[in-house]
Each structure stands twice: as structure tokens, then as C-alpha cells.
Amino acid sequence: MNAVANIQDYRPLDRSTDYRSTVTWPKSELLSAISIIGLGYVGAVSTACLAGLGHRVIGCDVDTIKTAQIAEGVSPIHEEGLGELLANGVEAELITSTTNVAEAVAATDITFVSVGTPTSEDGGCDYRYIRSAAQAIGEGLRNKGEYHVVVMRCSVPPATTLNVMVPEIESASGLTMGEDFGVCFNPEFLREGTAIADFDVPPKTVIGANDDRAADILRRVYAPVDDNIIATSIEVAEMVKYVDNVWHATKVCFANEVGRVCKPLSIDSHQVMDIFVQDTKLNLSPYYLKPGFAYGGSCLPKEVRAVAHLAENLGVETPLINSLAATNEKQIQSAIELVRQSKGRKIGFVGLAFKAGTDDLRESPILEVMNELITEGYDVRAYDPAIDANTRVDNQFAYVRHVCPHLEPVVEALPGLLAADPLAMIDNCDVIVVTQRSKEIRQQVASRLGRVKVIDLVRLFDAAPSTNSYEGIGW
Ligand SMILES: NC(=O)c1ccc[n+]([C@@H]2O[C@H](COP(=O)([O-])OP(=O)(O)OC[C@H]3O[C@@H](n4cnc5c(N)ncnc54)[C@H](O)[C@@H]3O)[C@@H](O)[C@H]2O)c1
């Protein structure tokens, strides 16, 4: 079986050969020719689907069995509809394949990189295949003499594209990124089993680029299937892919723990979760999904403890749910550490309750931070627009004393450290810790930015200020 298609036979695409009814791209406009390095799940599906959009595609792999299969229009993997799509692409003379990456790169406008990124021995990412693919890309670009776009599609740790792949391409080609070639990171979100349907109707299309020219060329490739492309930096796009998959894994484990708790109670976990997912305001929504401060208040800490206790009594293990209190405590410790690192001694807290618009102090996590700082001898003051000297907090303190007896120092000190005027308090502090997000607080803090050190636990500003006197807890 001859695996290698002849690149010398490569010829301009006859735009009338589009065979998928979904193709809306203007036939008169020249479509980019694309080389795809790595014909595994991602590469094979991309080869078929991009040809399906009318692109000429050259699939490349070191595995001659895979290149042979692609050249013959046979799917190298089990994936619904892939064989048919590949066969159509080969028949339409849009798909060829080769083991010679450099030749394929030189003969195309865009190169997609979809080689494997297995786990290395130390648990990190094995860059071996990325490096060898990048070297071959560099060789292909060396004498090409035309601008080229390299699109990284592998799931990789942030900065891999720019710090691992690009240097290899530059040293093998003698060319410069941004001038001679552009680079994008374009994460792949396909699900095996429904990969072609996911290509046609993607959950999202993300293009990370630091070069508009490269991003525009890639944007045009995806235009027929997604007209709402999310543009960002390369590093953010790399991280998005990791975060997506960790989130999916978190959801799987969470749902399974719900099942483990429900089963011995003879409660149908599917009924529970069917109702759970119908809440798109709080449950499946951006709510609670932005990095910030620890959870708190009268419900979340109490109910997390209750479910962990329930599971223990039932004899079922719920390590994810049990770990929530520990990761919450880590966030409290991070806030304390930020204050210590600030070197300030007079610390003003803007916001006392666990969120803006309430005077509920029950299990407000900022009390933990204040308590620790008071114990360490810091001069602590606090302002909360919903709390003043007339606020009845006795019952809340009784609650706090009962659940958190270690908070006694802050409970005792609180009435004496409340400030009535936020700006006067800020002006009299070395450091302020912002714990609530509101328009009023944003204006107050903005008016003092640069004059006082700000530790922001709530991402007060959409764009974090880039000044030495501002520090966000997770950004
Ligand atoms: N499989 C998925 O569902 C999926 C989804 C999204 C993202 N990803 C990511 O996409 C990347 C590819 O995943 P996959 O599952 O398709 O991998 P895979 O292991 O199935 O295929 C990788 C292919 O790359 C080839 N290859 C390795 N080095 C090469 C080189 N120098 N030149 C040419 N070919 C080379 C291998 O022979 C193999 O065929 C990984 O980073 C993965 O994490 C995978």
C-alpha cells in the first residue's frame, strides 16, 4: 500500500467541487490550503471536516498506516460518519496524505498541529511530538518565501505554543514569528463519538493569537461553521482548554458523589440532577464561576458540612464534597498572606458581610481574615455600607460564636473598629482589602487607586489596574 500522496500533484482547488450542502463560503474566493500534522482523533476529523468545507487538505503523520488509510479515504479511527466524509474528500481530490511534513507545509498556507501530548514521567506534558513537528514545520517554511499560519491544536500547558513550539520553528527555519509566519492557538473541543457533529456545530470556537493577520486567516477558515468566534491571547486560549476539561471532570465526579449519597437513601439521583440542571440562573451559569474570595454566609458552609456529614453516616465516600471546606480555607489563607506580604500595618476592610447588600455576618469568611490579623497585632478597621453602629448583630455573633468559637477576638473587637466614612477610613490605612463588589465601592476605591495599597478579593474592576499598589487574589 502506498501511503504517500504525491505533493507534486498538488494543484489549485476547483472551487466547484464543494460537496457538502452546508458550505456557504463564496466559491469565488480562494480557500486556504491546509496541512494537518498528526492524524489521530483530532487530525483525522479536522482533515475530513476542513475538506468538507472545501479546503484542500494534506494530512501528515509519521505512522504510514494512518497516512495510507487517509489517502484511500478510510478512517483510521472508529468515529461516526468519518469514513464517509474522508472518502468524499479523497474522491473530490481535496484530501491527500504524506509522511513528509516539510513538503506538506511548503505546499500549503496553514498548518494545523494535532500531534499527541501524552503525560510525561513527572506528570507534566511530554513535548517530544510537538518539538519534532515544529522542527519539520521550520524546515518546510525555510524556503517557502510566503507568509504561513501555524495553528497549534494540542492541549498543552500555558506558554507551550510560544516557548516550546515557536522557538523550534524559528531555529529550524531562520524565520521570525509575526513577520514571516503567524501563530495561533485554537483549542479543539470535539467529543469522540460526535466529533463531526461537533465540528459542524461547535460549542465554541476560540482563536488565541497575538497577530491579527494570522487570526484573520484562521477566522475565515471557521466562518462557515461559526460566525461568533472568541478572540483572545494564545496563553488564555491554552488555559481555556485545560480549564474546560478539568471542569468536565469535576462535573462527572460531583454527579457521581450525588449518586453515591442518593442511592442508600432510595432517592433517584437522576431526578435530582434533572431538576438541578434546569436552574440556569444559579446552577449552570456564570454565577459562582469567577475566581474571587472564599464562599461563606448562612447557607453554603452549613450545607456543605451537612452533606459531608450525611455521606459519612451513610458510609459512602465523597472526597470531592469533603474537600470543599479545605479549598475554601486555602482561599482565606491566601488573603491573609497577601496582607502579610503588603508590609502594611493599618488594614482597612471594605465590606464585612459575605456579599454586598446584606448585613448578614454569619460565617462571613472575611471575619476569619480579620480575626487572624487582629491576633497577629495588625491595626484593623472595617467599613460596610449595610452595617453601622445601630445594626443588631448580637444574634449573628451568637451564631458565629457557636459555629466558630475561634472567632472570639474579631467578634469582641468588631463594634470598636467599624468606620462610618469609607473614604476617611481608606485615607487612614496602609492597605485596604476589598471584599464586596458594588458600584459605590468601585468608585470609592477608584478615587484612591495609587494612593493606598489595594488587595482586591472580588475583581472590583473588569480590567485589573496595572499598578504596583493593586493586587488581585487570583488575577
Ligand atoms: N482525542 C480527543 O478527543 C481530543 C480532543 C481535544 C484535544 N485533544 C488534543 O489534541 C492532541 C491530539 O490528540 P489525539 O487524540 O488526536 O492524539 P493521537 O495520539 O490520537 O494522535 C496523534 C498523532 O500524531 C502523530 N504524530 C506524532 N508525532 C508526529 C510528527 N512529528 N509528525 C507527524 N505526526 C506525528 C502520531 O503518529 C499520531 O497519529 C492532543 O494534544 C490532545 O490532548 C484531543
Please state the domain extents for the chain.
29-233, 244-314, 330-472
299 counts as catalytic: yes
- Dist CA 38 CA 117 (whole Å): 11
The Å distance, Cα 122 to ligand 1 centre, comes to 20
Please say whether the beta carbons of 237 and 231 come within 8 A. Answer: no
Give how far Cα 326 sits from Cα of 169, 305, 333, 370, 373, Å. 44, 11, 10, 19, 20
- Dist CA 272 CA 283 (whole Å): 13
pLDDT of residue 24: 39
- Dist CA 63 CA 48 (whole Å): 18
**What distance lies between CA 13 and its chain's CA centroid?**
37
DSSP 8-state symbol, 430: S
Catalytic entry in 60, 154, 299, 404: 299
- What CATH number was assigned to the domain covering residues 330-472? 3.40.50.720
pLDDT of residue 9: 44
The Å distance, Cα 39 to ligand 1 centre, comes to 7
Task: Pull the grid cell for residue 267.
Answer: 432517592
pLDDT of residue 13: 37
Same fold, 29-233 and 330-472: yes
pLDDT of residue 29: 46
pLDDT of residue 404: 82
The Å distance, Cα 109 to ligand 1 centre, comes to 21
The Å distance, Cα 37 to ligand 1 centre, comes to 9
pLDDT of residue 21: 39
Residue 229 CB neighbour total at 10 angstroms: 16
pTM of the model: 0.90
Helix intervals (H) in 227-318: 234-262, 269-278, 300-314
Q: Which residue out of 41, 111, 119, 131 has the highest number of ligand 1 atoms within 8 Å of its CB and is therefore the one to mutate?
A: 41
Annotation: CATH topology of 29-233: Rossmann fold (3.40.50)
Residues 6+ apart with CB under 8 A from 44: 59, 66, 70, 75, 76, 77, 79, 82, 86
pLDDT of residue 12: 37
pLDDT of residue 286: 95
Lining ligand 1 with CB less than 6 A are 37-43, 60-63, 66, 101, 114-117, 129, 132-133, 153-155, 188, 190, 192
Q: Which residue out of 115, 126, 204 has the highest number of ligand 1 atoms within 8 Å of its CB and is therefore the one to mutate?
A: 115
Average pLDDT by stretches of 10, the chain with 475 residues: 39 39 42 97 97 96 97 96 96 96 97 97 96 98 97 97 98 98 97 95 96 96 95 98 97 98 98 98 96 93 96 98 98 98 97 88 91 97 88 74 84 90 97 96 96 97 94 97
